[in-house]
Chains A and B, each alone.
Chain A
Amino acid sequence: MIPLGYFTFLSAFLFCTGVYGALTRRNVIGILISIELILNAVNINLVAFNKYLGTPDSLGQVFALFVIAIAAAASVVGLVLIISIYRNAKTLFTDGIHLMKE
């Protein structure tokens, strides 16, 4: 059996990859992809802790389900916002979107 620390390290790696992507991508869609990676890292942690130190009502898995649902809602709204920004500003690059500064 794999120790719990391996799963937390995997999740930390995924999280840091997501942070790197969210900081470096110029495209808003790329940033959303990185945020999905971060949410998945959280889910791995929840499921792994539920497996190793879980309570009888499996709170970790229930929470992971909630995180998946929230992520779905967030990405739906995010992608619609992206389409809307593209329609108005004709760009999706973060350095080109400055509606609030004008």
Chain B
Amino acid sequence: MDNFMFYVIASCVCVSAVLAVTQRDVFHCALWLAMTLLSVAGIYFYLDASFLGVVQILVYVGGIITLFVFAIKLTAHIGDRAIEQINRQWPLSALVSMLLLSICWRIFATHPWANICLNTASVSMAQLGRSLMANYAVPFEFMSVILLAAMVGAIVIGKDKR
């Protein structure tokens, strides 16, 4: 039953990711991206990383997808169905990504850690918070500076000059 859940979530991730990069309408792409991100949150829940799953849903599906939808709607006619959305290099690109995937497959199939089935104790949210605020406090504070810089930069770039 446990394994079955993994296969269901993983196939959701794969199918919606492929649709997110191949759909013609950019708006549909954004919706399939939302589906992919939700399925990845499911993977996090499966891996006992429940805090990360909640953050994934809040930040990605709640925030970033909304931004994408705004950007798509503000540039409405670009995503029109009549315009070709895929460039002429797509067979070569498909070949390259297939090759990359098969190399990864070869490495994963032969490497010793690929068969590890350890069931370690899950990380509690309190433990995660403690390590975030104690061991990794400096990168955590640095992250807030980056977010502030991104916010200010976005306002400056987005401001209408006229």
A residues touching B (Cβ–Cβ < 8 Å)? 1-10, 12-21, 23-27, 29-30, 32-34, 36-37, 40, 43-44, 47-48, 50-54, 57-59, 61-62, 64-66, 68-77, 79-84, 86-87, 91-95
Those 3 A-B pairs whose CB atoms lie nearest each other, nearest first: A5-B114, A21-B21, A73-B150
Q: Is the CB of B108 within 8 A of A2?
A: no
Report chain A residues within 8 Å CB of B158. 80, 83-84
Report chain B residues within 8 Å CB of A13. 14, 17, 101
Report chain B residues within 8 Å CB of A73. 146-147, 149-150
Interface centre among B67, B109, B149 (most CB of A within 10 A): B67
Instruction: Tell me if B's interface is mostly helix, strand, loop or mixed.
Output: helix
CB distance from A3 to the nearest CB of B (A): 5
Residue in chain A with minimal CB distance to B130: A57
Interface residues as binary, B68-102 with A (CB distance below 8 Å gives 1, 0 otherwise): 10111011001100001111011001101110110
Q: Is the CB of B60 within 8 A of A83?
A: no
Q: Is the CB of A77 within 8 A of B157?
A: yes
Report chain A residues within 8 Å CB of B127. 58
Tally chain B residues at the interface, Cβ within 8 Å: 86
Known contacts A13-B101, A21-B20, A33-B30, A66 near B123 by CB under 8 Å:
no
Residue in chain A with minimal CB distance to B116: A4
A43 to B37, alpha carbons, bound, how many Å? Answer: 11
Known contacts A2-B3, A51-B49, A61-B52, A34 near B123 by CB under 8 Å:
no
Query: What are some 25 contacts across the A-B interface (CB < 8 A)?
Result: A4-B116, A4-B117, A12-B100, A13-B14, A14-B13, A16-B104, A17-B17, A17-B20, A20-B94, A21-B21, A24-B86, A24-B93, A25-B85, A27-B78, A29-B26, A29-B68, A30-B29, A51-B47, A58-B128, A61-B52, A61-B123, A64-B49, A72-B150, A79-B68, A83-B71
